[in-house]
Amino acid sequence: MKNLKYFPFERNRYFYGKLLTVDDFQAEQKYMNDKRRLINRFLHGSGVVCGLNVVRVDDHSISLEPGVALDFSGREIVVDMPVLKRLSLIEGFDSYTAEDEESNYLYLCIEYTEQDKNPVFNVAGSTADTEYSKVGEEYRLYLTDREPESNNTGSCYEEQKTVYWGNGIRISHILPKYVRSGQDFPFRVIVENMGQMMPVKFSYDLELNKLSSGIDDRITISFDEEQLEKARRYELTLFLNAAKIKNRQGQMKLIPGSFQLSEGGYQRNYEEPQYTGTVSIVEEELEQVIKDQFQRESLEEIMKDIYHQSIYLAKINIIRAASTYVIDSIEQMPFQQYVYNGMMSTVMDRVWEERLGRIERLLQQKDVEVKAEGPCTGQESEEEYMPFVATGSVTLNLKLGGAARQTFFSDEIVHGLGPGNVRIVLGEEYGSADGSHILYGAGNIFDDPSNPTRIEMAARVDVAKGTFVIGMKLLESTVAREVRIHWMAIMDEKEAYQGEEEQSLFIKPDTIYLKLRENCNFEAEFIGAFDCQVRWKIKETGGGTIDENGRYVAPNVPGIYEVIAESVENSELTASAFVIVRESYT
């Protein structure tokens, strides 16, 4: 296990009369193991193949589900049975002390280990000598607050660097490694709340070299948590433009003295951060550059000293008070260390083929122009959605004509896009018998002797049923017997009807620190349901008191206590908040 070097490959050469020793049999096993692990590492990579989900069992325990993973050296890690563990009994928890106020989370990691098994007497030695006849391939679980030194997933095309880490907050940038010359590209600002209870606000300026934010060679990054819904992680996407050069480095650098950070409106003391990020500006297609770079450096990077790296299964968020702790939530695979097998790759290829086919079909429709919004430099990007389009026509029968201001309606039309909000475009057909013209909008604009009947049109959409009805009003009398109307229904993916919104209940604040006998007010908030009454209760005996209005009074004993709100109308609709009671705030 300690010798992780693959090369050189040597296998036994057998001949009659060869004396086989322990070294020969060990060389036989090593040759077969190293070849298999080399294929695992280079063809499949490292990470979780299947399973290994981490589940919260109660306030103090977790369960690891069965699964398979490949480690950094291509060795197989197999968990064949569920593992139930109390968090405080897992290796590494003891190093997580109350002195470390900068983090309220731990990473659960797994790594490959071997264990000698089945002791037997050594017949070639003394009677007291024993040896182990088997080696068990096992695994080790441990906890750490350190992130992996290298994240293989995405490391070949992007890089994450920390700008600032302190006061319970972490700010980092994710930059692409390669960008096209003269083109716009996105970069992401990640804000992680690591236990900061007060709303955070910060801003800083970046000096740009061979990059630009539109017309300026600097950009301002600003963030105000009070303007957003409280979360543990925020992501901002901004856009920059690469200079029209090739094979050069673009750079962004934090301008000294520009960094400003406040918590709850109060300026905090902090060490002046330093940050420099770089991107390679290339002229070739990015896919080709990344592929060439990976093929050139993969052997060196993967095999260089076989760097040790564990697999990070989960990020466990913890609420703590002195020596007491509660598991708040669990984030699965925080660094996306997955291995996709052939079946999963086939499925993903099918998904992309269908998506690209749908885009191609949309672009082939002559009446619909599909385009993406241009980047807004320095602004958070909007998620792009592709539209679904359906077309058709309907004939409204006027019989013997109609009088001015008379109205006519079509039957209910199924547009075929399913439930959801659609936009209906209507056009009136006129001209020769084959309908050589279609008029959209006001007809009196065009000086055409064959102008159609002067009408007004409208469509009423039933969002839930996925249907609509066309209404038409005559603006003047006509002897026409019918009017043919062409329609186009357009729906964005984000407007697809999701049915009734799922009901949920939240408590504000969800976590709060109090001193002994201190009080606070909790508020219940419903989503997807009408505001209704809640029943308040405290899970732990002696955990304080709370009245029907959500006013909580802390007990005389320090600890972590769970406040529960339960809907009166629906007892299955509940929410929890945690109160950390200390003797003092320090």
Reported residue count of the chain is: 586
Rounded Cα–Cα distance for residues 311 and 67 (Å) = 13
Rounded Cα–Cα distance for residues 392 and 297 (Å) = 55
Q: What is the pLDDT of residue 375?
A: 36
Q: What is the pLDDT of residue 416?
A: 78
What are the b/e assignments for 107-122, b being 16+ CB within 10 Å? bbbbbbeeeeeeeeee
Start-to-end CA distance of the chain, whole Å, equals 47
Per DSSP, 43 falls in state I
Rounded Cα–Cα distance for residues 336 and 154 (Å) = 9
Strands 276-282 and 178-180: parallel
Q: What is the pLDDT of residue 400?
A: 76
Q: What is the pLDDT of residue 368?
A: 39
Q: What is the pLDDT of residue 142?
A: 93
pTM: 0.62
Give the number of C-alpha atoms closer than 13 A to the C-alpha of residue 208, restricted to the C-beta side: 18
Q: What is the pLDDT of residue 143?
A: 93
Rounded Cα–Cα distance for residues 72 and 41 (Å) = 7
Rounded Cα–Cα distance for residues 482 and 396 (Å) = 6
User: Which class for 64: exposed (0-12), middle (13-18), buried (19 or more C-beta within 10 A)?
Assistant: buried
Radius of gyration of the chain (CA): 33
Rounded Cα–Cα distance for residues 105 and 146 (Å) = 10
Instruction: Divide the 586 residues of the chain into consecutive groups of 10 and give the mean pLDDT of each group.
Output: 67 90 88 88 86 90 93 90 91 70 79 89 72 89 82 66 84 89 87 78 90 81 82 84 85 90 79 88 81 68 62 88 79 87 74 67 47 37 59 84 85 83 86 67 67 82 87 85 87 60 77 86 78 84 89 88 87 85 70
Rounded Cα–Cα distance for residues 501 and 404 (Å) = 44
